[in-house]
Structure 1
Amino acid sequence: MIRPEATAVIGRFREALVGAGVLVVGVYWGFFTGGGLLHWLGYAVCLIGVALVITGLQQARFRQGSGGPGIVQVIEGRITYFGPLSGGVADIDALSALTLDPSAKPAHWRLDQPGQPPLMIPINAEGSESLFDAFAHLPGIRTEFMLRELERGPAHPVVIWRAGSAQPLGRRLH
């Protein structure tokens, strides 16, 4: 009944669509009801809806499709990749660098850990959308930079995050 292309778009933007629904309910409660508690609750629901739309759009930009080689699982801070030719495990807390490597087809995420060979994960592996939330836990990661590089499709490997790369934003007085 629904075309596969439309289903794919709806699936890619599902979090943003849920956020838009929450935002519509919040706008209705906040601006189109009389006063009272529901009116004030509507403002809070609007803020939640805006936050859901923003994070949903970021997750939609991160998704690069599915059907790629291998399966990715993220469980309690541990990334596991089961591939047809390789695989491995990487703990989020133990990562030293995250690189987007377009030299292979499809492009791969390269996860470096001290004392371990790098874990290479195709950007379109099954379950790779769960990597967005895992990468968000990296201290000092620039999410917008990661999404921009992913969309741009760089010609050479780009370091997205490196441990200890979080720079202070300015000098502190105390």
Structure 2
Amino acid sequence: MIRPEAREVLARWREAVIGLAILGLGLYWSTGFGILQWVGFVVAAIGAVVIFSGVQHARFRSGNGGPGVVTVDEGAISYFGPFNGGSVSIRELEMLSLDPRAEPPVWVLSQPGQADLYVPVNAEAADSLFDAFAALPGIRTDHLLAALNKGGDDVVVIWAKRPLSVH
């Protein structure tokens, strides 16, 4: 019933579309009287927050169909791919980088005492990484999204537990 291209766009922007519907309902209710008006203002504010979050999630999604599968469960990020895989603890993560030189680009997750974990940005369920990355203390999600959408020829350090020293 819906063209595949339109279905993909709706799937990518689903949270923002839901937020828009919530905002519309809240604005409609806010034109009423009494308690319904105040409930409408609250619902509209919630809708605006959902839209903001949805836009960030949509910008993070790079599609699916890439190699491997990502799972985020109980504070651990696991990647199972056709040639490599592994798991890192989110709490013990030392550095998060993006390597746009790879095809497809990969997230590089560094944890002390382990080999770096390379996760393709378009791996199945890679969109679940956004919430895990957003929980890292001091991360700038705008920097993360800009690096992801920009591309480039150099590895970009998105986040480091300790500030990187410059020599």
Shorter-chain TM band: over 0.9
Tell me which residue corresponds to 1:14: 14
- 2:52 equivalent in structure 1: 54
Match for residue 134 of structure 1 among 132, 141, 156:
132
Aligned-pair CA distance for 1:44 = 0.6
Alpha-carbon deviation of 1:76?
1.6
- TM-score, normalised via structure 1 length: 0.92
Shift of 1:154: 2.0
Instruction: Kindly provide the CA deviation profile for residues 37-60 of structure 1, in whole angstroms up to 9, marking residues without a partner as x.
Output: 111011111110000000000000
Sequence identity, in percent?
Answer: 52
Show the counterpart of 2:107. 109
* CA drift at 1:164: 2.7
Q: Does 1:157 align with 2:152?
A: no
- d(CA) in 1 for partners of 2:160, 2:46: 31
| DSSP 3-state at the match of 2:82 | coil
Alpha-carbon offset, residue 102 of structure 1: 1.4
* Counterpart residue identity of residue 108, structure 1: V
Secondary structure of the structure 1 residue equivalent to 2:96: strand
Q: Which moved more, 1:135-144 or 1:156-165?
A: 156-165
Partner SS, residue 68 of structure 2: strand
Long gaps (5+) in structure 1: 166-174
Task: Tell whether the 8 Å contact from 2:101 to 2:152 is kept in structure 1 after alignment.
Answer: no
Measure, in 2, the Cα distance between the counterparts of 1:36 and 1:13: 34
CA distance in 2, matches of 1:121, 1:103: 13
RMSD over equivalenced CA pairs, Å:
0.7
| Counterpart in the other structure of 2:26 | 26
Distance 2:132 2:43 in 1: 26
Aligned to 1:68, what secondary structure does the other structure show?
A: coil
Q: 4+ residue stretches of structure 1 with deviation over 2 A?
A: none
